[in-house]
Amino acid sequence: MKTVENSAIKIRSRRRNLLALKPYPSYKDSGVPWLGKVPEGWEVKPLKRLSKLPPQYGANIPANMYTNEDEGVRLIRTTDIDERGGLKEKGVWAPKNLVKNHLLNPGDLLLSRSGTIGLALLIESPLIRAEDKFAFAGYLVRFALRKDLVCPKYVFFFTRSQDFRRFVGANAISSTIDNVNAEKYANMPLPLPSLPEQRAIVKFLDWAERRIRFIIAARKRRIQLLEEYRQALINDAVTGKFDVRTGKPYPSYKDSGVRWLGKVPKHWKARKLRHVLNRIDVRNRPDMPLLSVVREKGVILRDITNKDENHNFIPDDLSNYKVVYQGQFVINKMKAWQGSYGVSHYDGIVSPAYFVFDIQGVEGKFLHAALRSKGYIPFFMQASKGVRVGQWDLSIDQLKEIPFYLPPLPEQRAIAEYLDRETAKIDAAIEKTKESIALWEELRETLISDVVTGKLDVREAAKKLPEAEPELEAKLEALEAALKEKGRAKSPEPYESEYQSKKNPA
């Protein structure tokens, strides 16, 4: 904890020391309680006075009217805007004739008025090119900013400040969902320096954000690599690629008969899962905690108060749910092809659609690590069938036939202990990196807030900055593209059922 606190102090101090930033010489009361004081010479104007047109609500296009990319115009919805004000890749297209009065132009600012309120998107290059056409949907409000009065990017940076969030929070109207209407946004007070000073602020914040984005992206990439290393370490240990007791390969190996599994230690025995897992079915304990099974963690306690975690219906009567005890193996049979199964650390109940098993003759931790490794998940893919990929159903008969290679019990325990120890180190490194990312994100938010509200003067600093940094921009683009590609969900490719065509050891 001490290390995290020290890191926080160090990172926050960089905000003050960044190019020796200092406050403005003098300040005055803004007349807006949540905004406080602003530099002398700055004005405070409502957003509507900076727009060429009155604020405009977007087009209400029902989903059944959406068309394809070739025949329509990209329709930007609230759900298409990320928290940093970026446009997500995937989207929808609306017929051109239905959105002709809602086409966007460079310099337009969109603000979300309902659902996730306070999201902002600035229509600017390189987001929009001359040949691109965008329209906006009903939960968004458009402000056509006057470039002779305001730098659009400056207003956009203000929408990423803590002060903007305070404004949104204070003006949200709660009904079934929170909303901030166009009139409230139009009357939002905006701290406004001169146009040249706005451009200096934008130049500085663009420069600072490039560096912070690069640092954050590099740390996210580090997390990805650590997670890949963790997965590879587990897979190599549970499939015998090395002996955890020596750190070296085993003396001799034999062919497993399965392409993706490769060779296994010669003394490991092959058993089918029917000899390891004994299916059980106990019910009528609605008083026990509700559990779920997910790909990332295996069996988890289900938070019934969290709407994000409860997409599936939970009945009032849980007496038909299956009982699970600590140490039993549970499979989400509709998601087994993804690796949604594991040994439970909890007593509780699960959906009647899940499979529950007692484990016999195997160290539970070894079984958990092995079956959730990339060496064994393909077997569960093969044993799952269905019309739609997302709804593949695990066949219990084919599950029983999956081969499982087992070292002697003392060796299983040694592997489990080794993985507990080594993955704990990796998990600690991942957690420390996540904490660092959170601190840099805090620095970015605080820096933007302090600069756009005049708490820090960046005029002299901006003069020293380059107009463009193509080398850094190229590195950042490549790094963020790698992160996006790595994080993109992929449908499972069908594996050859070669082990089924061969005589598997019983």
Average pLDDT over every residue of 461-490? 83
**Residue 22: what are its φ and ψ, rounded to 5°?**
-135, 165
State residue 228's pLDDT score.
94
Report how far residue 506's alpha carbon sits from residue 502's, in angstroms, rounded to the nearest whole number: 12
Is pLDDT above 60 for 8? no
Write the pLDDT tens digit of every residue in 142-183: 999 999 999 999 999 999 999 999 999 888 875 445 678 889
CATH code assigned to 269-406: 3.90.220.20
Q: How confident is the model at residue 133 (pLDDT cuts 50, 70, 90)?
A: confident
Q: How confident is the model at residue 286 (pLDDT cuts 50, 70, 90)?
A: very high
Strand (E) or helix (H) holding 187 = none
Tokens found for residue 343: 């040994």
Closest CA to 207 of 462, 474, 475: 462
Residues 6+ apart with CB under 8 A from 5: none
By the 10 Å C-beta count (0-12 exposed, 13-18 middle, 19+ buried), 1 is classed as exposed
Tokens found for residue 384: 């799952």
Q: Could you tell me which residue, 4 or 360, shows the higher pLDDT?
A: 360
Q: How confident is the model at residue 505 (pLDDT cuts 50, 70, 90)?
A: very low
State residue 503's pLDDT score.
36
Is pLDDT above 70 for 184? yes
Closest CA to 445 of 172, 167, 158: 158
Closest CA to 8 of 500, 468, 489, 432: 432
State residue 131's pLDDT score.
53
State residue 494's pLDDT score.
38
Average pLDDT over every residue of 127-137? 73
* CA torsion, ordered 219, 221, 225, 226, to nearest 10 deg: 30
Report how far residue 67's alpha carbon sits from residue 92's, in angstroms, rounded to the nearest whole number: 8
Tokens found for residue 435: 């904490």
End-to-end CA distance of the chain: 51
State residue 16's pLDDT score.
54
The pTM for the full model equals 0.83
CA neighbours closer than 13 Å in the CB half-sphere of residue 369: 28
Distances (CA, A) of 125 to 104, 128, 156, 355, 470: 13, 5, 14, 52, 15
Query: Prior bond to 126 cis, omega within 30?
Result: yes
Identity of the highest mean pLDDT range in 52-66, 300-314, 470-484: 52-66
Is pLDDT above 60 for 495? no
Report how far residue 38's alpha carbon sits from residue 36's, in angstroms, rounded to the nearest whole number: 7
Closest CA to 392 of 346, 337, 348, 431: 337
Report how far residue 393's alpha carbon sits from residue 96's, in angstroms, rounded to the nearest whole number: 41
Write the pLDDT tens digit of every residue in 347-388: 999 999 999 999 999 999 999 999 999 999 999 998 998 766
Cβ distance 202 to 157 under 8 Å? yes
Average pLDDT over every residue of 63-78? 92
Average pLDDT over every residue of 469-480? 90
**Count of beta carbons in the 10 Å neighbourhood of residue 53:** 12
Tokens found for residue 42: 């700055």
Percentage of the residues of the chain whose pLDDT score is greater than 90:
71
Write the pLDDT tens digit of every residue in 289-339: 999 999 888 999 987 765 455 456 688 889 999 999 999 999 999 999 989
Is pLDDT above 60 for 129? no
Report how far residue 101's alpha carbon sits from residue 471's, in angstroms, rounded to the nearest whole number: 40
State residue 125's pLDDT score.
66
Report how far residue 329's alpha carbon sits from residue 342's, in angstroms, rounded to the nearest whole number: 6
CA neighbours closer than 13 Å in the CB half-sphere of residue 424: 6
Is pLDDT above 60 for 110? yes
Report how far residue 399's alpha carbon sits from residue 413's, in angstroms, rounded to the nearest whole number: 24
Q: Where are the domains of the chain?
A: 1-28+193-250+409-506, 43-192, 269-406
Q: Helix, strand, or coil here: 444?
A: helix
Closest CA to 157 of 108, 53, 85: 85
Q: Do domains 43-192 and 269-406 have the same CATH topology?
A: yes
**Residue 17: what are its φ and ψ, rounded to 5°?**
-90, -10
Cβ distance 401 to 504 under 8 Å? yes
State residue 174's pLDDT score.
58
Q: How confident is the model at residue 114 (pLDDT cuts 50, 70, 90)?
A: confident
Per DSSP bridges, beta strands 134-136 and 72-76 are parallel
Domain 43-192 has CATH 3.90.220.20: yes
Q: How many helices (H) and strands (E) does the chain have?
A: 12, 27
DSSP type of residue 473: H
